[in-house]
Structure 1
Amino acid sequence: MRTIVLIGLVGFAAQLVDGSLGMAYGVTTTTLLLAIGTNPAAASATVHLAEIGTTLVSGVSHWKFGNVDWRVVRRIAIPGAIGAFLGATILSKLSTEAAAPVMAVILLLLGLYILIRFTFQGIPRHNLGKPLRKRFLSPLGFVAGFVDATGGGGWGPVGTPAILASGRLEPRKVIGSIDTSEFIIAVAASLGFLFSLGSQGINFAWVGAILVGGVVAAPIAAWLVRHIPPRLLGASVGGLIVLTNTRSLLKSDFIDAPGGVRNVFYVVIVIGWAAAFAYSLREYLRDRDNESSDAVTHFREEQEVALVGTRTDDVPAPGPAPDATEKRDVVGLLPEVNGE
């Protein structure tokens, strides 16, 4: 019973972080299950089964608080589902450990970029409101879905920083859209695991405990995202990306750093992260009217309207239809044009 309660608390904490920052649910819960001896495929299957419920509640909560851009959800969810299904069926047959350090380096660099940019510049506004294209979101969704299923988590860590780095959507919309589309990913991955593994190794009591904890936390997380200023949200997400991917890189076979060395890196990162957050908070308080969540959302909506108006203005207005005399004149000129 103590184990079930502990797993439920982990599900609560993981969903609170994931729903607030757009990542870390799968990584947190999968790490716990692996630590108590579950094999990787069964751990990932357990987490994704629980995520069907938690992501559904999380998506509804984000929708209620206005945190979802449905255009992004439509363009990223289906490719993500295909990637997740393939990843789930391949996990038991193919190791992706060799690619993990490369992915960690890419995400670490993205995390540093997001942390530095949001800390010192706030949310960048020159691209805000521009549409996120399908040619960007579809490959991103496929890769994020595949990584999510094979690694027990990855939809948020891959998708959130990539969309944030584009600067075209404010952080709360990025997080809400990623969390909402994750429901489709969880369903696809779970089907893949069930087809390839059956129910082998899945402890449904653990699934229930993780699910209950996540369902309780989801509305709280969605409320937090709606009210946390974008500058603080971006700095928080950036710091989490740096920390989690530094951990993955240091623990990989490529580096395999000793525990003492890893701890030094973690302490330095946490101190830097706290300093960045404190600076972001100070800058937000100095210009609260322009840095608030509502102000950024209003600015994005104005930019979207302006972009639509620009595209409309670029289309030439249709001229008047030629009358019968003009048509005869045109016909009369045709022989001269043809050299007759």
Structure 2
Amino acid sequence: MLTILIVFAVVGVAAGLIAGLFGLGGGVVMVPAMIYTFGALAFPEAITVHLAVGTSLACIVVTASVAGWTHWQRGAIDWSLLKPLVPGVVLGAWLGAMVASQLAGEQLKLAFAVFLMLVALTMLRRLPSEGSALPGPVKLGVVAAAIGGFSSLFGVGGGSMTVPYLRFCGVAMARAVATSAALGLPIALSGAVSYVVQGWGEETLPEGALGFVYLPAFLGLVLCSAPASRVGAKLAHRLPAAKLQKAFAIVLLLIAAQLLVSGMMSTAQA
């Protein structure tokens, strides 16, 4: 048990730094770590991924709140952009959890890995200058729903899609990261509640689980990820925009590689 707590503490620190620095929810670190740890605890394989994703989203509710608060204090959040995005991501996140509860998810994992690679390669190129036109409310709502849906499916805060999209629309990197961090809260909250509902009454859940949210892991991760996310958010305002953008792209490539390898291994075993 002590080893498990140490693992969750280390993962929590890494996840928090990523959440604040890149506008990600930290799930890209937490989900794989929990899948491995839950496997070591001999949890039923059929619910391991769902439990990891649901718990990750619950953790992101806290880390996104802390990171978003830090960005808000610095006046970096674009509220005029955030407000029209919220309804779409909330709806998408809820539906994403519903879909995830019905699917094994390996094919989606592979497709998402390819998508992240394309996004990362695009981020390494020079992006439009600040001030480019944003889409209308209808298109923005559709994009927001897609971001919320994919985020809920994979237990991430949405930054892997929100930040590149805002950059394509000409939003400055620091402002895109700050807005993405704030947007992670409604995504994670809607997704986490949906995972609790979808997993409610599941007979194979371990003790300490609330639907598809494993409370012991949630507590262990949050204790370390929340303060680390504040540090990451502060670092985001000190690093040069160009270097931050390239670093973000490299993080996406690493995430994509992990998803691709794990997805291919699972498919081959099946």
1:104-183 → structure 2 map (5 Å cutoff):
104-117=113-126, 124-125=128-129, 128-133=130-135, 134-153=137-156, 155-166=158-169, 168-183=170-185
CA shift, 1:24, in A, is 6.1
CA shift, 1:92, in A, is 1.8
- Whether 1:92 and 2:101 are equivalent positions in the alignment is yes
Q: Which amino acid aligns with 1:27?
A: V
Q: What is the match of residue 34 of structure 2?
A: 33
**Larger CA Rg, structure 1 vs 2:** 1
Q: SS where residue 241 of structure 1 aligns?
A: helix
Are the equivalent residues in 2 in contact too, given 1:66–1:226 (CA < 8 A)? Answer: no
Q: What is the match of residue 62 of structure 1?
A: 71
Q: SS where residue 102 of structure 2 aligns?
A: coil
Over 3 Å counting, the alpha-carbon distance change for 1:112 and 1:87 in structure 2 is same
- Whether 1:229 and 2:240 are equivalent positions in the alignment is yes
Are the equivalent residues in 1 in contact too, given 2:66–2:227 (CA < 8 A)? Answer: no
Aligned length: 249
CA shift, 1:71, in A, is 1.9
Q: Which amino acid aligns with 1:169?
A: V
5-14 or 175-184, which deviates more: 5-14
Q: SS where residue 251 of structure 2 aligns?
A: helix
Q: What is the match of residue 197 of structure 2?
A: 195
Identity over aligned pairs, percent: 22
Over 3 Å counting, the alpha-carbon distance change for 1:223 and 1:188 in structure 2 is same
In 2, the alpha carbon distance for the partners of 1:249 and 1:202 equals 25
Are the equivalent residues in 2 in contact too, given 1:77–1:141 (CA < 8 A)? Answer: yes
In 2, the alpha carbon distance for the partners of 1:255 and 1:215 equals 32
Q: Deviations over 1:219-263 (max 9, x none)?
A: 211111112111111111112222322332344339979xxxxxx
In 2, the alpha carbon distance for the partners of 1:21 and 1:219 equals 12
Are the equivalent residues in 2 in contact too, given 1:19–1:221 (CA < 8 A)? Answer: yes
Q: Which amino acid aligns with 1:179?
A: A
In 1, the alpha carbon distance for the partners of 2:102 and 2:119 equals 30
Over 3 Å counting, the alpha-carbon distance change for 1:54 and 1:245 in structure 2 is same
Q: Which amino acid aligns with 1:143?
A: A
TM-score in terms of structure 1 length: 0.67
Q: What is the match of residue 279 of structure 1?
A: none
In 1, the alpha carbon distance for the partners of 2:99 and 2:245 equals 34
Over 3 Å counting, the alpha-carbon distance change for 1:255 and 1:46 in structure 2 is closer
In 2, the alpha carbon distance for the partners of 1:25 and 1:254 equals 23
Q: Which amino acid aligns with 2:148?
A: G
Q: SS where residue 264 of structure 2 aligns?
A: coil
Gaps of 5+ in 2: 201-209
Q: Deviations over 1:38-85 (max 9, x none)?
A: 511111111111222221111111111222111221122221111111
- Whether 1:249 and 2:260 are equivalent positions in the alignment is yes
In 2, the alpha carbon distance for the partners of 1:243 and 1:69 equals 28
- Whether 1:209 and 2:185 are equivalent positions in the alignment is no
Over 3 Å counting, the alpha-carbon distance change for 1:75 and 1:95 in structure 2 is farther
Gaps of 5+ in 1: 118-122, 258-340
Are the equivalent residues in 1 in contact too, given 2:196–2:212 (CA < 8 A)? Answer: no
In 2, the alpha carbon distance for the partners of 1:87 and 1:9 equals 28
In 2, the alpha carbon distance for the partners of 1:73 and 1:22 equals 14
Q: What is the match of residue 20 of structure 1?
A: 21
Q: SS where residue 80 of structure 1 aligns?
A: helix
Over 3 Å counting, the alpha-carbon distance change for 1:60 and 1:211 in structure 2 is same
Are the equivalent residues in 2 in contact too, given 1:8–1:213 (CA < 8 A)? Answer: yes
Q: What is the match of residue 238 of structure 1?
A: 249
Q: Which amino acid aligns with 2:28?
A: V
CA shift, 1:146, in A, is 1.1
In 2, the alpha carbon distance for the partners of 1:106 and 1:64 equals 33
TM-score in terms of structure 2 length: 0.84
In 2, the alpha carbon distance for the partners of 1:162 and 1:223 equals 22
Structure 1 outlier segments of 4+, above 6 Å: 254-257
If asked which structure has higher relative contact order (CA below 8 Å, sep 6+), I would say 2
Q: Which amino acid aligns with 1:228?
A: L
Q: Deviations over 1:96-140 (max 9, x none)?
A: 4323333322331221121132xxxxx642xx1234223443222
Q: SS where residue 171 of structure 2 aligns?
A: coil
Q: What is the match of residue 205 of structure 2?
A: none
In 1, the alpha carbon distance for the partners of 2:88 and 2:212 equals 28
